[in-house]
Amino acid sequence: MMEKKGFWFALKSNVYVEFKEKRILLYDTKCGFIFIAMLVWLSSCTFSPRNNNVPVEMSMWEYTDSDVENLSLLCKIWGFMKYYHPEVRAGKYDWDHELLCVMPSLVSLPSKEKRNEVLVEWIDQFDFKKKRGNYTLCTSDSIKLLPDLKWIEDKGSLGTVLSDKLKEIRDAKRDTTSYYVNLGNENIGKAVFTHEERYSKCIFPNISYQLLSLFRLWNAIQYYFPYKYLLKNSWDDVLLDNIPAFLEITDRMDYENALKRFIAEVHDTHAGIYGGPIKKYLVPVVIRFIEDKAVVTEYYELKSSFKGEEDRTLQPGDVIVRVNSEEVDSIVKRITPYISASNEATLQRQIAVNELLWSNDTLLYVDYERNGAIEKTRIRCVPNQMCESTVFQKPQPLISYLSPDILYLYMGSTIGGEVPQEIKSKGMIIDLRAYPVMEKINGYWEYNLLYPSSTDFATFTHGSLLQPGLFTFGPVVKVGKENEDYYQGKKVILINETTQSHAEFMTMKYRCTPNTVVMGSTTAGADGNCSFLILPGNFRATFTGLGVYYPDKSETQQIGILPDIEVKSTIQGIREGRDEVLEAAIKYLNTEEVR
């Protein structure tokens, strides 16, 4: 290890630096030759001018707690400047490049004072006009979340000089636009992250780009996740806890898993990491956790070229006990740390739908319980591209009549159509145990036939470009209009753990109509539009980007939409081929008087 003017080298088998898209060999153990001239040139590098900086590839070292703390502070300052510094947020610097250049100088330092000196020297390279902005906060009742910037005032840790420089950046006049993020419409806009490099050719392990990925994602959530206040753990502590994991990554799969474990900390069903390989095969059955057991409920639709070839050993109502000799409870415990879910019901749904009976092999060994007896079988899987998932949407009609007096609307209909604009039945059921097929169903968004007048149904929080981390409430949103001829019959809205995002939003809308009850079980608890963030290695992170609340500002996130009448499926009901929630809705409509 050697230290040269802020650059830290850990010479490994082959050490390269990136310069103008070329990799320059610094050290080759096979020939045992060090390019002295190159090292002399690098030793003369300083932080300016900017285009002379060359990032040095970091390799694994015996890091200390101080190293982790220093990298954590660098993450926070780098992200703070990305979104607050007038020149950086204007896109005048290659901000990833600047991070990669300074990162090695933050390890193996003798003291906090030395660390703070390095950071002050680095920040001084990015000058800006010292003009204060006028950032008056909104009225207190409109603020949902304040920027988390108290850390920049900690002079005990940062020292006076560094703290004052950060406060100067915080208070500086900024343009109303940002190179790295935009918000769109302020009432329904989510954070849209722009100009983020994919680094598609990055090969892992690569400590520099692993930390860049962590820093990029941590700061996106720090400043543009509307539900940050709901996190179960301190976001600062989450960063400290995850830096070692990102330092110790051994390959691309390990990198993907580290990202998944990290984003699972936000406990948001919208949150996830995409871009890695998915398993090639699955048993084409729908699994739901019913009575806390993994239960087969139905078979997936298969593409025509594969129909009739699937193994139909399993039957609706079978309880999966083991997969490849591993207990289901053990599988759930093993997978849970890698899944971001707003609540327990959705965690179980994610595992059941996306994990339990998936494999890279064509065969799965499954133990299942049927009628009190445990059966063991070897099941032939089908290629995943042959399956048409029926969890959220199905090829069944939008409109049907369960009796002359009960209209049924299935909002996950892939057949589509238009919602009725004249209803003569005495009652109707709107089934939102699905994701509405927006491109095929017409008229459901503004279903004014159901409303006698305009009414409040939701309010949103949106972020800020001028004061990143600030979330404020917009105006209350209304639905419906004056209509003397509105439908006055009784209505039941059906929900469960598959009711997510847009479906939850529509439940809130329809719930405002007269003579309506919501029936079923708790929804996914992830309402609002998604934000997307590109990460090194061509991965993509997602998380909820828009805060959605009831008109009185009460929560929907994590809690979900709670039913007025709770009804859940049972294992026995599945075995008998019954939809017990739908049956309860029919019974309600046939027996209850209009309120």
User: 138 and 55 in one domain?
Assistant: yes
One domain for residues 380 and 434? no
The secondary structure of the chain in percent helix, strand, coil, rounded to multiples of 5, reads 30, 25, 45
What angle do the packed helices 95-102 and 207-224 form, to 10 degrees? Answer: 120
**Are 430 and 301 contained in the same domain?**
no
**Residue pair 297/572 in contact by the 8 Å Cβ criterion:** no
Q: CB–CB of 375/386 below 8 Å?
A: no
Q: Is 180 helix (H, G, I), strand (E, B) or coil?
A: coil
Tally DSSP H helices, then E strands, for the chain. 13, 34
From 338, 361, 388, the end of a domain falls on: 388
Rounded to an integer, what distance in angstroms lies between the CA atom of residue 214 and that of residue 76?
11
| Judgement on whether residues 409 and 326 belong to the same structural domain of the protein | no
Could you tell me if residue 59 is inside a domain?
A: yes
- Grouping H, G, I as helix, E, B as strand and the rest as coil, residue 7 is strand
Phi, psi values for residue 14, rounded to 5°: -135, 130
| Digitized pLDDT (tens) for each residue of the chain, 595 residues in all | 333 333 233 323 333 333 333 333 333 333 333 333 333 333 333 334 455 577 777 777 789 999 999 999 999 999 999 999 999 999 999 999 999 999 999 999 999 999 999 999 999 999 998 888 877 766 678 999 999 999 999 999 999 999 999 999 999 999 999 999 999 764 457 899 999 999 999 999 999 999 999 999 999 999 999 999 999 999 999 999 999 999 999 999 999 999 999 999 999 999 999 999 999 999 999 999 999 999 999 999 888 767 777 789 999 999 999 999 999 999 999 999 999 999 999 999 999 999 999 999 999 999 999 999 999 999 999 999 988 888 999 999 999 999 999 999 999 999 999 999 999 999 999 999 999 999 999 999 999 999 999 999 999 999 999 999 999 999 999 999 999 999 999 999 999 999 999 999 999 999 999 999 999 999 999 988 899 999 999 999 999 999 999 999 999 999 999 999 999 999 999 999 999 999 999 999 998 654 4
CATH assignment of the domain containing 585: 3.90.226.10
Domain that holds residue 360: 281-388
Dihedral pair phi/psi, residue 254, rounded to 5°: -60, -40
Contact 492, 407 (CB under 8 A): no
How many alpha carbons lie under 13 Å from residue 492 in its C-beta half-sphere? 25
Number of domains in the chain: 3
Strand partners, 377: 366
In 198-280, which residue ranges form alpha helices assigned H by DSSP?
Answer: 207-224, 235-247, 252-263
User: Are residues 554 and 446 part of one domain?
Assistant: yes
Query: 420 CB contacts (<8 Å, ≥6 apart)?
Result: 399, 407, 449
Q: CA 532 → CA 542, 557, 565, distances in Å?
A: 5, 18, 36
The Cα 71–Cα 338 span in angstroms is 24
Q: Model's pTM, two decimal places? A: 0.88
User: Of 336, 357, 388, which one is at a domain's C-terminal end?
Assistant: 388
Q: Please identify which residue in the block is written with the tokens 């936000």.
A: 266
With respect to residue 486, please indicate whether it lies within any of the assigned structural domains. Answer: yes
- DSSP, collapsed to helix, strand or coil, labels residue 245 as helix
Provide the token pair at 566.
């709770």
Q: Please state, in angstroms and rounded to a whole number, the distance separating the CA atoms of residues 332 and 352.
A: 9
Question: Same structural domain for residues 315 and 460?
Answer: no
Backbone phi, psi, residue 407, to 5°? -85, 135
Residue 379 belongs to some domain of the structure: yes
b vs e for 98-128, b when ≥16 Cβ sit within 10 Å of the residue's Cβ?
Answer: bbbbbbbbbbbbeebeebbebbbbbbebbeb
Q: Where are the beta strands (DSSP E) in 411-512?
A: 417-418, 427-431, 441-442, 455-462, 471-473, 477-479, 490-495
Which is it for strands 399-403 and 387-388: parallel, antiparallel or unpaired? unpaired
In a domain, 520, yes or no: yes
Question: Would you call 476 helix, strand, or coil by DSSP?
Answer: coil
On whether residue 291 sits in a domain, the answer given is yes
Give 543: exposed, middle or buried? Use CB within 10 Å, 0-12, 13-18, 19+: buried
Is residue 94 located within the same domain as residue 241?
yes
Residue 446's DSSP bridge partners are none
| CA dist., res. 202 & res. 538, Å (int) | 9
Do 460 and 374 belong to one domain?
no
Q: Are residues 345 and 472 in the same domain?
A: no
- Does residue 309 lie within any of the structural domains? yes
294 and 153 in a common domain? no
The alpha carbon of residue 125 and the mean position of all alpha carbons in its chain are separated, in whole angstroms, by 35
How far is Cα 205 from Cα 245, in angstroms, rounded to an integer? 12
Q: In terms of domains, do 423 and 512 share one?
A: yes
Cα separation of 508 and 65, whole Å? Answer: 48
Domain boundary residue, one of 388, 418, 434: 388
- DSSP three-state, residue 298: strand
d(CA 499, CA 501) in angstroms, rounded, equals: 7
Query: Is residue 276 in some structural domain?
Result: no
Query: Look-up: residue for tokens 């390279």?
Result: 125
Residue 274 lies in a domain: no
Query: Which CATH number belongs to the domain containing residue 366 in this structure?
Result: 2.30.42.10
Domain match, 110 and 258 both:
yes
- The answer to whether the beta carbons of residues 516 and 479 sit under 8 Å apart is no
